[in-house]
Structure 1
Amino acid sequence: MTVREQNRGEFSLGWKVLLAGVLGVMCGASPIPMNIIGFTIAPLQAEFGWTITQIVLPITIFGIIASFLAPFFGWLADRYGVRPVALLSLAAFGLSFASVSLMPTTKAASTLYIYYALWMIIGLVGIGSTPVSWSRAINLWFVKKRGLALGILLLGTSLAAIVVPFLAPRVIEGYGWRSMFAVVALLPLCVALPVGYFLFREPTADERPAGLASEGGTLTGVTLSTALKDYRFWLIWLSIAVIAAAFGGAFVNLPKMLGDRGIDAKAAGSVMMVLGLGIFAGRIITGLLLDRFWQGIVAFPLLCLPAISCYILLGAEVTSPLAMAAGFLLGFAAGAESDLIAYLTGRYFGMAHYGKIYGMLYMPFGLFSALSPLMYARVRDTTGSYDQILWVALVAYIVGGGLLLLLGKYPERFDSGEPVANPVAKAA
């Protein structure tokens, strides 16, 4: 690296990669399925007579498959580089997502299984287009401003939460739900993929910020087997699982929840857009705070915010302003949680085996985010209300946030003995 490059800031060097990553996250398999599934409930019920549980089950199928494949895709990124993994998976996700538009029109029982099979394919090929891949490159470009950079990267999910709820119901209303799958698939294929092809890459050894590698140029960090023996790994894993189990179902079922309270589909779409704005704010604010303060005092209060959302949604009468407030707080905490997964992986376990460790920590996020919509839908189908599951979620948010208070300080050295860069200490 030249002297001039050394004097340039991390954002000056890495902004192009960060831009490509934001679009990759936005158009990838992490936010898009979650953002469209709620809007398919009414048209699929009308056309096929399926139950809510049957309609949201594809998210569970997709999420379970993707979750168990996350460590494998993380290993691929560690072994072969993040660029080919992210771009190939993004292309495959777009094509498989578009294929849902070719669903048969018959009401035969086999149609439901075809629908599930297509979602299985989306899960098999799409996980490399999630933050499992994109965040590895960002962690390698940024150290001092890592929290902010990861927050900006994961703004992709909030952008999806703004764009897709605006786009999906309008396409469904004008052209049908099949066309919606084809139109939304253009986002990964025609927006993120071209930009990623030209701009997305890992830094060379000379471009890496100081503190990521040993004097010999080797990235520092613990192995996956070492991380699995560390109590902090399992505290993070459990916290992610608890929060994801509470949030995923609320997010997917929110349009239906609001419909039960007399709020129509377009107004519910507006609430989902506000939720996206909450995610946007949560990403940036959480990232800025993580660069200044220890994660525990940042994470706990932010992850408790959705408990307020649950209390609002449990009310006998939910007005539009209250629904907007509930959506914003729910989104804000979701933004904080996703920031934390990537940030804590790098800070507590290093970058040498980041992909595999992040993949293992992404597993509970994907798995319980996938199971949660099914739990919410099942409660609604059997009791006629979401109230029971909202009470459980209210407690889960508080418990999940509290677990992160037990992690302790960031490590000063990894097994290699190399000192760890401590940007928080420098900033404080």
Structure 2
Amino acid sequence: MVQFSSAAASEWRSSWPLVLTAMVGFSFHSIATYSSGLFIEPLQNEFGWSRAEITGGLAIAAISTVPLSPIVGSIIDRWGSRRIAVPGLVLTACCLASFGTTGPSVANWIGLWCLYAVVGLTVKSTVWTHAVTGVFDAGRGLALAVMLSGTAIAQSLVPPLAQWLIASFGWRDAWFWLGFGWCAPALILALLFLRGPPRKDDPQPARSMEARAREAMTIGQALRNPALVRLALATLIMMTLGLAVIVHQVPILTNMGLERQTAAWLASLSGIAGIFGKLITGALMDRFDAARIGAITIAASAAGFVLLIAKPNLAMIMLGIVIIGYAVGTKLQVTAYLTSRLTGLASFGKIFGLMNSVVALGAGLGPLLSGLLYDLAGSYEPLLFAGVPGSLISGYLILSTKNAKSQKARGSNLHRIDESLPAEGA
């Protein structure tokens, strides 16, 4: 059982509705990612597009957000999450529904994804993470875990839901119901509970904005910070592999001989494992060395890839999917938690926006590269083989941040990473 400190318990008593709101809001942003694999075959059947062309829209959209994420992060630092998220939820629902209007032109399909990319920045992880980290300190790891479980909830529910909607109403109407049906509860919660809390890392709240700006880490300092650079590289590898597997999970499993409906439910099982991964890892990161916990968790996904490469029986396939789902489910949580401890909160939106550019790059490259590999090789084996060393390298890079020293700007209140992260056993 998780043991809360009195400070963490107080944070949870007063702010659990905010965490619930952020969790549901972040799950809404994850719909496009976790449903797109279910639309591959219907789009192939209707338009004759290749898998690379179909997933290319998601890839281009994700990569196109790379230069915009730090800008949006800076806006969130200035305006707060509520002003961005409330209109963003409505606009994102409209964009999701618009996918059902696509015609036979691939350019039209990619254009819709580019529109979604810009609008989707208003409901990405930076918005929700910014709100949660502004309130939680002692219980930040678990709070982020619960919030980021939204993506695992989407991973669990969206594949079978999308499959049912496509089978019952067709792929065009499925986009409409996924968009507006999921938006409704997220919007209601945001209107009720999403607020802009005061910064808790500021010992003198009355200080001027100019003084706080001098203390905030700049983009240039972040790019020269060894720990942040290593974390960014690990995040790129994690996101590329993770999104490649998630988007193509159903096709990967059907290529192993499983029926489409069974594959969809196994994808759901992977999402459930991701929920447990987030919660367990979040609780452990609050109590022990965060970098070490993150490294072990991410590196463990190598075992899941090995099981899938071996083409075992159904039970072993399920075990491999659970291991990968558990580990991959923590990827964004590890990045968000370590970034918040490295940068402090004054510049968190901006720097995590920069980190989100890396996330977007990996999210765009993963599905596209896996689609290209399948088109060239006729199987997903090259992707699965790449997952083994990729997982181990990511784990090593995260662990190495423990000993990397944070570079300080003159007059800054930033600390070395080993001083800013919880000590083991704390």
Same fold (TM over 0.5): yes
User: What whole-Å deviation, never above 9, does each CA across 1:389-414 have from its counterpart, x for those lacking one?
Assistant: 22122111100110112113697998
Percent of aligned positions with the same letter in both sequences?
26
CA contact (8 A) 2:289 2:423 kept: no
For 2:329, the equivalent position in structure 1 comes to 335
* 2:91 counterpart residue number: 92
RMSD: 2.4
Aligned to 1:189: 183
Deviation at 1:247, TM superposition (A): 1.6
| Matching residue of 2:72 | 73
TM score, norm. by length of structure 1: 0.90
Q: How does 1:29-68 map to 2 (within 5 A)?
A: 31-68=30-67
- Cα distance in 2, alignment partners of residues 412 and 230 from structure 1: 6
2:3 aligns with none
Name the counterpart of 2:192.
198
- Find the aligned partners of 1:359 and 1:162 in 2 and give their Cα distance: 26
Partner-residue secondary structure (3-state), 1:373: helix
Residue of structure 2 equivalent to 1:16: 17
Other-structure match for 1:285:
280
- Structure 1: which amino acid aligns with 2:22? G
**CA distance in 2: counterparts of 1:372 and 1:145, whole angstroms:** 32
**8 A Cα contact 2:96 2:179, kept in partner:** yes
Is 2:11–2:136's contact at 8 Å kept on the other side of the alignment? yes
Distance in 2 of aligned mates of 1:418 and 1:112: 48
Partner of 1:424: 422
With over 3 angstroms needed to count, the CA separation of the structure-2 counterparts of 1:231 and 1:411, relative to structure 1, is: closer
Distance 2:80 2:220 in 1: 21
Alpha-carbon distance, 1:187 to partner: 3.9
Structure 2 length as normaliser, TM-score? 0.91
Aligned residue number for residue 160 of structure 1: 154
Matched, 1:215 2:204: yes
Q: How does 1:17-416 map to 2 (within 5 A)?
A: 17-28=18-29, 31-104=30-103, 107=104, 111-203=105-197, 205=198, 209=200, 212-217=201-206, 221-315=216-310, 317-408=311-402, 415-416=411-412
Q: CA deviation at 1:68?
A: 2.8
Structure 2 unmatched runs, 5+: 1-5
CA distance in structure 1 between the partners assigned to 2:189 and 2:205 by the alignment? 33
2-side partners of 1:35 and 1:92: how far apart? 19
Partners of 1:295 and 1:8 in 2: CA distance:
20
Following the alignment from structure 2 to structure 1, what is the Cα–Cα distance between the partners of residues 283 and 43? 42
Spell out, residue by residue over 1:26-84, the C-alpha distance to the aligned partner (whole angstroms, 9 max, x if none): 112xx211101110111111111111111111110221123332111111101111111
Q: Is the contact made by 1:73 and 1:85 (CA closer than 8 Å) also made in structure 2?
A: no
Residue aligned with 1:385, SS: coil
Give, as a single letter, the amino acid of the residue that structure 2 aligns with 1:244: M
How big is the shift at 1:216?
4.1
**Residue deviations 1:70-99, cap 9 Å, x none?**
111111101111111122222211111111
Shift of 1:140: 0.8
Query: What SS is found at the alignment partner of 2:196?
Result: coil
Query: Secondary structure at 2:186's aligned position in 1?
Result: helix
Q: 1:263 to 1:413 in 2, by over 3 A?
A: same
Could you say if the C-alpha distance between residues 42 and 16 of structure 1 is closer, same or farther in structure 2, counting changes exceeding 3 Å? same
Residue segments in structure 1 that go unaligned for 5+ positions in a row = none
Deviations along 1:280-310, one digit per CA (max 9) or x if unpaired, are 0111011111101112220122111221221
Cα offsets for 1:351-389 (capped at 9, x unmatched): 111111001111111111211111111111111111122
Q: Distance in 2 between matches of 1:423 and 1:392?
A: 31
Shift of 1:318: 3.8
